Structure 1
Amino acid sequence: MLRRLIAIASIFAATSAGAEGYRDTTVPMTVDTTLDLTQYLGKWYEIARFPNRFEKDCMAVTAEYSARGDGRIDVLNTCRKGAVDGPVKQAKGVARPVEAGKLEVTFVPGLSVLGFLWGDYWVLDVTGDYSVAVVGAPEGTTGWILARAAQISDTEYEAAQAVLRANGYDTDALYRVPQTKD
């Protein structure tokens, strides 16, 4: 068991060390402190993301959040590899609220006692009707624009990008995710 833990830690360290940052970390990050997790639950479509190793070649990405009895949130991320109708790849995880607007997520729930397996998931902004959300992390290696529908207007997209820029992100690096039609 100890060897397995050391191997997992080594893999995590090796893959995280080279992660590219998309954010000026000298810019203070602000989160939506009025976030209502109950309204946030449900299915979200990934509209745009900063490139990352765990979503390589993923299209038509969705994230589904559901409440658990222990106060945590089940996470189910689904992507289509290579095309919007490509093979389905899913990742199951668990999120835990840390403070208003801030969560941590792990996709290795069986080893959740290991603190380094949790990643920051900060909701920077969500529209009043919970139709568009902007998510980031202080280290700036991840960030997403999510929506309840597979497509959003240019105005909504520009507003979401403005939130990212205000939090120090270089939005030129955003990847617009091909999505299915609603």
Structure 2
Amino acid sequence: MLVRHRLTTLLSCAGLSLMAACGDDATGFRDANVPLGVTTRGTTADVSGEWFVRATTPGNEDLQRVNILPERQGIPAVELVRRTCESNGDCEEVGEIWRAKPLGQHRWRIQSPQGDAARELWVVWVDEGFRTAAIGTPDGSYGWILDRAPTGGSDRVTAAQEILAFNGYDAAQLVTR
């Protein structure tokens, strides 16, 4: 069984152009031995707009929403909206626009406004109605489940968790809302 799994992984890495490079070690929150796929469903317009974060890997618990902006001031961008709280308990949501460089269908390299941080954003899966999406990155540094609504759609959220697990993510690490 292990030999067949290794052979399948090797063939997947060698033959599929929409896959990330395969490695030998687990990195971040996913096993790099498992190829990471990107959905071919829909267009950029279909995945654009506001998404609520319904689950995330540790380290992104303050992330509330992700807005995929196909064109902001002439360039693609992604807005990351985080909830920040003061020591006195006052909280607010603060959005930050990250420039996005398209890498292919449903894949971007996003860079912070200060230019000091970058990450890839891959749409691994999206449901037929473009209501729920599984987001990941080849290095496994983070994974998100996004939905068009802040509540509901538990069947789709479960499906997104299963898709992330299939793509090598440790679904037990996901912090759900």
TM over 0.5: yes
Q: In structure 2, the residue corresponding to 1:162 is in which secondary structure?
A: helix
Change over 3 Å in CA distance of 1:155–1:71 after alignment to 2: same
Deviates more, 1:123-132 or 1:149-158: 149-158
Alignment of 1:47 onto 2:50: no
CA distance in 2, matches of 1:121, 1:36: 15
1:104–1:121 CA contact under 8 A, matched in 2: yes
The aligned residue for residue 31 of structure 2 is: 24
What SS does the aligned partner of 1:163 have?
A: helix
Report % sequence identity. 26
Q: Does 1:172 align with 2:172?
A: yes
2:41–2:126 Cα contact (<8 Å) kept = no
Aligned residue in 1 for 2:152? 152
SS of match in other structure, 2:30: coil
What does the per-residue CA deviation read over 1:12-63, in whole Å, with 9 as the maximum and x for residues that have no partner?
A: xxxxxxxx711011001111023410111111000000012xx35x16x011
Kindly indicate whether structure 1 or structure 2 has the higher relative contact order, using CA contacts under 8 Å at least 6 residues apart.
1
Q: How many residues align?
A: 148
Distance 1:169 1:71, change over 3 A: farther
**Alpha-carbon shift at residue 70 of structure 1 (Å):** 7.9
Cα contact 2:77–2:110 (8 A) shared by 1:
no
Consecutive unaligned residues of structure 1, counting only runs of 5 or more, are: 1-19, 178-182
Partner residue of 2:43?
A: 36
Q: Which residue of 2 aligns with 1:77?
A: 80
Q: 1:104 to 1:38 in 2, by over 3 A?
A: same
Q: Secondary structure at the match of 1:31?
A: coil
RMSD: 2.4
Pairwise CA distance, 1:99: 1.1
Superposed CA offset, 1:121-170 (max 9, x none): 11100111110010000111111000100013331121011100110000
Distance 1:103 1:29, change over 3 A: same
Q: Residues of 1 paired with 2:83 and 2:73: CA distance?
A: 31
TM-score scaled by length of structure 2: 0.74
Equivalent-residue separation in structure 2 for 1:171 and 1:71 (angstroms) = 37
What are the ranges of 5 or more consecutive residues in structure 2 without an aligned counterpart? 1-26
Write 1 or 2 for the structure with the bigger share of strand.
2
